[in-house]
Every structure is written in C-alpha cells, then in structure tokens.
C-alpha cells in the first residue's frame, strides 16, 4: 500500500509530501514523514512477527501516555511520553497490509547511540528511573503482555535449547551450530545463574513493576541544545517486569565501550566510570527500590546482557527470523559482542558491586 493512502487516514496538519526510511530499530519499520506545511511526523509499521496483538499493544501505549500526561498536568510538570496521533475515525492505528501508527516528530531533539558526556548518560538514567517510579501506581493488571515472557530469562533459555535441537537436526543450519559452538557453550555454562532473577520474581522476592523493557539509550530523546530529557520513546514493551532489567539493559547498551555489533572483541568493555554515573542517576530517580533490588543491580546488568546474547544466538540458529540483520552472521557477531561484555563484567564483578554498595548506602 502506498504511504499516501495510509497517511490519509491520520489527522495530520496537512498533506504529506515525503516519507523516508528513518532510525535504527531492529524490529519495527520507521519512516520520517514531512507534510506540505513542513511539519514532520514519524510513521511506523509495527512488526507483527514480534508483536502478535497490535491493537492490544496500542491500548497499552494509550493507557500509559494518558496516565503520565494526566499526572504531569496535576503536578504542573511536563510529560515525557508522546501520545499517538489519532486517525480520522478516532483510532490510534490503521490496518492495511500491516499495522501502521503515527506520532509527531520532535524537532530539535537527538537520540544518542552512545553517551557523549557523563551528563547525557546521567540524564538517561534519571529518565528511565523516573519512568518506573511515575508508573508505580499504574494498574498493572490492565496492561497486555505484548510479548509474553519477553524478559523471562529462563524461558529465553528454553527457547534457545529448542532452537539448538532444531538446528542440529536441520542440514541447512547444522553449520551454524558448529560456527557458534564456543558461544553456545559459554551461554549454557551460565544457564542456572541466568534464571536467578526470574525465580526471585516468581517467589515475590523482587517486586514486579510496570517497566519499559527496552531501555536502549536511543529510546530517549534529549533536547539538542540543553541535552535535557524530552521524551522516552518506544513504549511497545511497557509491561509488568523487573526494574533490574530496565537498569541493566541501559547499562549494557550505554556503558559498553563499543556498538552492539563490534567484531573486535578486545574493544568491548563495560566502562566502570559510566557504570557509576548511570547507577547514581537510576538509584536517585527510582526512589523506592528495595534493598534486594539495589544489591542486585550488577546482576541485572549481567543477566540482561546474557539474555540478549542468548536471543541473538537463538535467532542465528533459527536462520535470522526475528532481528533485522545486515549480513549473513550478523546475529552471531552480536551474540559474541554481548558475551564479551558479560565476560568483562565478570572480571569487574567486585568493582561493580562495590560501586553499587557505595551509591546505595
Ligand atoms: C530490539 O526495537 P529495538 O530495536 O529498540 C529488541 C530489544 C533488544 C534490542 C537490541 C521488541 O529493540 O529487546 O534489546 O533490539 N526489541 C524487541 O538492540 O525485541
Ligand atoms: Mg523496540
């Protein structure tokens, strides 16, 4: 379907004149739209392979954005989320050859791929910490699980085992098992440790909170001039979850000294200074973290990194069906990079724990 036909259904300020591919997401397809007046919008086609029930997902987003906007209004502050643009018949999406949605593009904002300063990273830590704390009274039972068991690390390992067995039995993919054998062994050696936080969640030893669940640095929009928080974006995975994974996911992305697909493993480290900066911001903003949550912050960073490595490995063994890839063994390269980061965290384990202890005193 032509973009004009899709966009014609939304309440834009004027006629769209261009629509170009935009952004670095690995799941949804994103486009930047400009209208006749010069106003810009973001059009997204939601990936139905990942998100099986898009109307339910959009209901979550409307619920959370409405709630945070109302709360900000009552408190006389700014809301840091962007509500979807409605269609002419009052819906938040259009269904044609897929599900499409629109939001306004935030002018003079930047989304960063790596912290350019301590202040940037601190600002992101405060943003994600505040997000959880602002949603602490949100009726979590009304949220749909947009991806069931999304950060259930034990379940991620179960799926990994399945993919491994299937790949071994498939002559087209057996080569991939051989190619990834060291990474598979490394991940399996850590399987029981990787399940600890999920187990604690099930036993209610860690609180289930409303969390973002995809706290990549580039899901924060900062003001290009002041570098202050404007918006937290990508609310597709807002669901009940663990604060430790929101914390950890941003650490594994932002405190890493290299990109998610760096091939030179010697370059991949968890920067302890950035780790400290982020931890300070997150602990200050997410005010009611329990004693266990604080103590387990380093484990949150390590396990979510391991979980993502296992997800990349699973997708590699499956023949690259989930994450967008740019070359043949891209998912294996990503898994190697994540595992190198896990290894580095293990080497710095005492230091990570003492930083956290110092901050949470
Ligand atoms: C995906 O949507 P995007 O690109 O921000 C993925 C995250 C991963 C991330 C790794 C719904 O995030 O879980 O951490 O890639 N999102 C989904 O870059 O699977
Ligand atoms: Mg996403």
What integer pLDDT is reported at residue 23 of this predicted model?
86
Q: Which atom from ligand 1 is nearest to the alpha carbon of 253?
A: 18
Hey, which of 150, 159, 211, 214 would you mutate to test ligand 1's pocket, going by the most ligand atoms within 8 Å of its Cβ? 214
Cα 304 to Cα 289: distance, rounded to the nearest angstrom: 18
Write down all domains in the chain, each with its CATH number in brackets.
3-105 (3.30.200.20), 118-360 (3.90.1200.10)
SS3 of residue 109 by DSSP: strand
Confidence of residue 210 (pLDDT cuts 50, 70, 90): very high
Return the HEC string of 125-178. HHHHHHHHHHCCCCCHHHCCCCCCCCCCHHHHHHHHHHHHHHHHHCCCCHHHHH
What's this model's pTM, rounded to 2 decimal places? 0.96
Above 90 in pLDDT, residue 310?
Answer: yes
Above 60 in pLDDT, residue 1?
Answer: no
Mean pLDDT (the chain) is: 96
DSSP 207-259: --EEE-S---GGGEEEETTT--EEEE---TT-EEE-HHHHHHHHHHHHSBSS-
Q: Which atom from ligand 1 is nearest to the alpha carbon of 237?
A: 11
60 alpha carbon to ligand 2 midpoint, in Å? Answer: 14
Distances (CA, A) of 190 to 168, 306, 307, 321: 21, 8, 10, 25
111 alpha carbon to ligand 2 midpoint, in Å? Answer: 14
Question: Which of 241, 167, 253, 172 is CA-nearest to residue 210?
Answer: 241
234 alpha carbon to ligand 1 midpoint, in Å? Answer: 10
- Span 94-129, pLDDT tens digits: 999 999 999 999 999 999 899 999 999 999 999 999
What integer pLDDT is reported at residue 193 of this predicted model?
98
The set of long-range contacts for 107-112, using a CB threshold of 8 Å and a minimum separation of 24, is 107/40, 108/223, 108/224, 108/225, 109/221, 109/222, 109/223, 109/224, 109/230, 109/231, 110/221, 110/222, 110/224, 111/217, 111/218, 111/219, 111/220, 111/221, 111/222, 111/233, 112/217, 112/218, 112/220, 112/222
């Amino acid at each position: 379907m032509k973009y004009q036909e899709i966009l014609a259904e939304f309440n834009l300020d004027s006629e769209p004149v261009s629509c170009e591919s935009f952004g670095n997401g690995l799941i949804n397809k994103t486009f930047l739209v400009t209208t006749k007046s010069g106003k810009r919008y973001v059009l997204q086609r939601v990936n139905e392979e990942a998100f099986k029930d898009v109307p339910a997902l959009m209901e979550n987003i409307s619920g959370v954005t409405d709630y945070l906007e109302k709360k900000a209004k009552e408190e006389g502050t700014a809301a840091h989320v962007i509500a979807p643009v409605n269609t002419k018949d009052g819906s938040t999406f259009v269904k044609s050859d897929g599900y499409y949605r629109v939001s306004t593009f935030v002018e003079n904002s930047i989304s960063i791929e790596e912290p350019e300063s301590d202040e940037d990273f601190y600002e992101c830590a405060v943003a994600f910490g505040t997000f959880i704390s602002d949603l602490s009274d949100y009726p979590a039972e009304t949220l749909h699980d947009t991806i069931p068991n999304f950060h259930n690390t034990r379940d991620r390992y179960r799926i990994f085992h399945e993919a491994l067995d299937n790949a071994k039995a498939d002559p087209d993919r057996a080569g991939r098992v051989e190619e990834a054998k060291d990474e598979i062994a490394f991940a399996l050696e850590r399987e029981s440790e990787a399940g600890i936080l999920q187990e604690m969640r099930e036993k209610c030893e860690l609180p289930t909170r409303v969390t973002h669940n995809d706290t990549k640095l580039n899901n924060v929009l900062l003001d290009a001039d002041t570098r202050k928080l404007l918006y937290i974006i990508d609310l597709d995975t807002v669901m009940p979850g663990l604060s430790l994974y929101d914390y950890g996911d941003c650490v594994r992305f932002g405190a890493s000294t290299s990109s998610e697909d760096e091939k030179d493993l010697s370059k991949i480290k968890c920067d302890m200074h950035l780790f400290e900066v982020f931890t300070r911001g997150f602990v200050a903003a997410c005010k009611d973290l329990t004693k266990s949550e604080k103590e387990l912050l380093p484990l949150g960073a390590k396990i979510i990194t391991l979980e993502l490595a296992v997800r990349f490995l699973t997708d590699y063994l499956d023949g690259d069906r989930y994450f967008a890839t740019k070359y043949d063994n891209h998912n294996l390269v990503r898994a190697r990079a994540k595992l190198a980061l896990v290894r580095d965290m293990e080497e710095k384990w005492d230091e990570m724990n003492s930083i956290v202890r110092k901050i949470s005193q």
